[in-house]
A and B are shown apart, each in its own frame.
Chain A
Amino acid sequence: MAIEVTNIVKKFGSFAALDNVDLKVADGELLALLGPSGSGKTTLLRIIAGLDWPDSGEVAIDGENALSRGASERQVGFVFQHYALFRHMTVFENVAFGLRVQPRAIRKDEATIRARVKNLLDLVQLDWLANRYPSQLSGGQRQRIALARALAIEPRILLLDEPFGALDAKVRKELRQWLRSLHSEIHVTSIFVTHDQEEALEVANRVVVMDKGRIEQIGSPGEVYDNPATAFVHGFIGESIVLPVDVAGDAVRLDGRPLNIPALGAASGAAKLFVRRHDMAVGPAGTGALEGAIRHVRSFGPIQRAEVALAGSEGKTVIEIDAPRDRELQAGEIVSLQPRRYRIFAAQE
């Protein structure tokens, strides 16, 4: 089902958790809401679920106004960060809950409910845990049961709040792949909230990057990584080298010295130059835009990570770059650096 969120504003006191947010989600998408804590991503998810209400704005699910319905009438599957399993019920009863509380008129008979729960437990590969209580499960198992429970009501959309947040690193990786394949199997429109960029980029087809209650960028994982729309996105996703520069016309200057790179249309004035670590090409002294002395080199896997103190900064500006290991760098060596790809954003904020 498609979701359309228009002009949502939500304030907690004077703090704007969501500041005029618009978002369209197409049918069958697997979308990540990515942002630091306090960016409003969970609030947006809860508003879509009907667990919170916006101060103004509209939410439509499949073209119909969702705000006139409460959480229990929206048929939205919600997987809670801490799972919120009912601890006085067995795994089976947890999954069956949504079916058992349906109005009598449309409630399925016991056999149907049992069959359906069994299918869902098969789907999450935990049918053998049906008679256990939540306290007897591991974190990863609880997560999958919470998902099965949300799927039991045949949700029109599936919302997951930090679905892997409470799990340890290894289980987290496994579950990511599992969620991805599950989504391609059942194809229900899904939104998940995360503060982990790797998780968002790896699992979602589209990523919504949020900060301070606003959407900074919406795009495929490749887009947000390779073409960050704002300084925030560039800084938040992937590791970046950030240098304070001045733009005058098409000229870019660092500490007053020209860098000999085009300004790419950035407005004149104070700005920030963003370069990915691996997009900084290392060459012999005198051949690039920047020059510096290598202070320290660590090599691992296919790369070597070098700390470079930039010339002209009296050793104050030190950046980290990743270079391929085709030529071993040495501490003390003077090298030049040339940004292969970069972005320049005006410095306000």
Chain B
Amino acid sequence: MSMQTGLATSTTQLRTYAPATDVSVAAPAPRLEIARAEPVAARRNPRTEPGPIRLIIIALAIAFLSIFVVLPLLVVFASAFSKGIVAYFAALAEPEALAAIKLTLLIAAISVTLNLVFGVVAAWAISKFEFTGKTFLITLIDLPFSVSPVISGLVFVLLFGAQGYFGTWLQAHNVHILFAVPGIALATIFVTFPFVARALIPLMQEQGTQEEEAAISLGASGLQTFFRVTLPNIKWGLLYGVLLCNARAMGEFGAVSVVSGHIRGETNTMPLLVEILYNEYQFVASFAIASLLAMLALITLVAKTVLERRLDEAEVPDGD
């Protein structure tokens, strides 16, 4: 089970279909027969539906996506700018907002870096070696995807909270994890762990070990092999994983909410500040921050589309 499957698969563009099902847009060379045969037009292609049904399905799809996906996105920007552009930037310039942005960037930097390193190592171990417990390891990597973010936060409270397993020891040594930056970073690392590994495993499995074996037989050391052979082969997949990991790290709400303690100016990340400002009816300020996050999401989507195309191209020559 992984959400990653969902994120990763929009790639293959309809190559298989394009010639055969070109039903609606392309009106090839105007011919008299078309006009004559209009009543049987629906029968022409045995692989499509009658015109009215086509229209209904397209209309339903567009209406659903517009209402449930496009409108919420528009609302973010409309509300952010509802009191004008000056109010928008004033809201973003608030010290509280700046502190939240800074903290979010810091947390993202920490968790992306660590997950980058360990994601690559985990993917490497899983795809290039055979060992017992491999299936277990794969399941483990997927786990954070299938756990509620609130539960992800909860486990850290259980570990490091005042009543937690390490709570007393931490208090005695005056170490702050919960309701402080380390706790937020840990929770974020936990929920974003699968992205890098998940993006790399299929790629590395597909590429096999031949190239590495060749490099080693040519006298390359393990590190040389990794940096000169493995890494160049996986760079787009790696970037893809980092991209999604970063988006989630910056946007994570549930897990962070549980461990942060909502200390203003100190442990509020951007998503948390969105919540606080919204609950205080500071709608412009709340949506101003939200608009930054929405922009991050849109940029991520565009970058993801570009990367998917790259990955697709990279796969084609050695596919099949």
Contact = CB atoms under 8 A, between A and B. Distances in A.
Q: Do chains A and B touch in the complex (CB under 8 A)?
A: yes
Interface stretch (B38-46, B152-160, B296-304): B38-46
Residues of B contacting A: mostly: loop
Contacts, number: 23
A56 interface: yes
A69 B43 contact: yes
B33 interface: yes
B31 interface: yes
B19 interface: yes
Given A13-B28, A71-B46, 5 more contacts: A50-B46, A56-B31, A68-B40, A70-B43, A73-B43
Contacts of B29: 11
Dominant secondary structure at the A interface = loop
Interface in A35-49: none
5 contacts: A56-B33, A67-B37, A70-B40, A70-B44, A70-B46
A12 B19 CA distance: 9
B16 to A, nearest CB: 13
Contacts of B19: 12
A55 B33 contact: yes
A98 to B, nearest CB: 14
Interface of A: 11-13, 50-51, 53, 55-56, 67-73
Interface of B: 19, 28-29, 31, 33, 37, 40, 43-44, 46
7 shortest interchain CB distances as A-B pairs: A70-B43, A71-B46, A53-B44, A51-B46, A56-B33, A70-B46, A68-B40
Nearest to B34: A55
A7 B147 CA distance: 65
Nearest to A71: B46
A306 B187 CA distance: 81
Contacts of B37: 53, 67
A73 B42 CA distance: 13
A339 to B, nearest CB: 46
Contacts of B40: 68, 70
A289 to B, nearest CB: 50
A27 to B, nearest CB: 26
Which of the listed residues A53, A56, A68 has the most CB atoms from chain B within 10 Å of its own CB? A53
Contacts of A11: 29
Nearest to A56: B33
A70 B48 CA distance: 12
Contacts of A73: 43
B171 to A, nearest CB: 61
B36 to A, nearest CB: 10
A175 B253 CA distance: 64
Contacts of B28: 13
A123 B319 CA distance: 41
